[in-house]
Amino acid sequence: MEFIIITGLSGAGKSVAMRNMEDIGYYCVDNIPPMLVSTFYELCEKSSDERMKKIAVVTDIRAGDVFDDLFESLDKLRAADKKYKILFLDARDDVLLRRFKETRRKHPLNEISSGSTEDAVRLEREVLMPVKARADYVIDTSLLSQTQLKERITSLFLGNASLGLTVTCLSFGFKYGLPSEADLVFDVRCLPNPFYIPELKHHTGLDSCVYEYVMKFEQSKGYAERMISLVDYSLPLYLSEGKSQLVIAVGCTGGKHRSVTLTRVLYDHILETGQRVIVHHRDIRKD
């Protein structure tokens, strides 16, 4: 049985994530009290219904003070050697505040925070910090559209989520900010930039003309070789630590040319090794 616990900050996209999980065949339950997570797990495990083989539950700060009970439920499952994964949805404070303003929704902790959404977001982040530390997968939705979030969810869970390490190769643009979920970051702004070549400017690293331009330079080949060497050395170490997700981010200025190219190189190499790997180009569609 696959059992995914979805949690995270209010406004970070948990409802969208749950709908996406339903789309790929998971039986989903929203707003389950933390104290009932272990009980629900046991009920699903005993069920003969095939729908109960892939489960996703959402539990979050809406449970109020009893949210601390989540750790008791998780410890109970772990003691019984019950397998589960935690997906944590995160976003920057300014993004969360903008989303609450746009949707005119009230934050679950507004009353505790005397009506201040900013204070409510800050308090929730503090409360959820220990949960994020225990998460198997962390997705920062600050710069993701709903379509991009769906792509990430589908890539992570459409296969067997109970498998070991999943590597995500992520390209991004530094001008849009560092991806907070990244475990390793490679800065390729030192490589020749196709942006200044008129016939290449409006293409991306997914196009052969840009890919071939970037990779024809010795410094690009040397960078790729050393990047791959470090990743090859690091992967077994992360595996031995029991890590479920490794996010390797490759960044250039705008996230369209050099970072996409080098991310493709890295993805192709990891794929050849037989490791479960997915690729995501965060900023490739941005202007």
In a domain, 286, yes or no: no
Q: Are 154 and 20 in contact (CB under 8 A)?
A: yes
Check residues 204 and 163 and name the one with the higher pLDDT.
204
Total tally of structural domains belonging to the chain: 2
Domain final residue pick, 124, 157, 190 = 157
pLDDT tens digits, residue range 7-42? 999 999 999 999 999 988 899 999 998 888 999 999
User: Both tokens of residue 10?
Assistant: 């209010």
Q: Are 6 and 143 in a shared domain? A: yes
Given a cut of 90, whether residue 72 has pLDDT beyond it is no
Q: Are 32 and 132 in a shared domain? A: yes
Which residues have a Cβ under 8 Å from the Cβ of 153 and sit 6 or more positions away?
A: 17, 20, 21, 24, 139
Angstrom distances, CA of residue 234 to CA of 187, 230, 261: 17, 6, 21
User: Both tokens of residue 19?
Assistant: 């709908």
Give the residue from 149, 45, 41, 178 showing the smallest Cα distance to 87.
149
Count of residues making up the chain? 287
pLDDT tens digits, residue range 166-198? 899 999 999 999 998 899 999 999 999 999 999
pLDDT tens digits, residue range 91-114? 999 999 999 999 888 899 988 888
Q: Are 190 and 146 in a shared domain? A: no
**Which structural domain, as residue segments, surrounds residue 72?**
2-157
Given a cut of 90, whether residue 69 has pLDDT beyond it is no
Domain final residue pick, 107, 123, 157 = 157
pLDDT, residue 155, reads 84
Angstrom distances, CA of residue 119 to CA of 92, 114, 214: 14, 8, 46
Return the top range by mean pLDDT from 36-45, 59-68, 202-211: 202-211
Which pTM was predicted?
0.74
User: Both tokens of residue 275?
Assistant: 């490791």
Q: Are 14 and 142 in a shared domain? A: yes
Could you tell me the sign of the dihedral formed by the alpha carbons of 268, 272, 273, 279, in that order? positive
Domain final residue pick, 107, 134, 157 = 157
**What is the three-state SS of 116-151?**
CHHHHHHHHHHHHHHHHHHCCEEEECCCCCHHHHHH
Enclosing H/E stretch for 29: strand 27-29
Residues 242 and 16: their CA atoms lie apart, in Å, by 28
Q: Are 174 and 251 in contact (CB under 8 A)?
A: yes
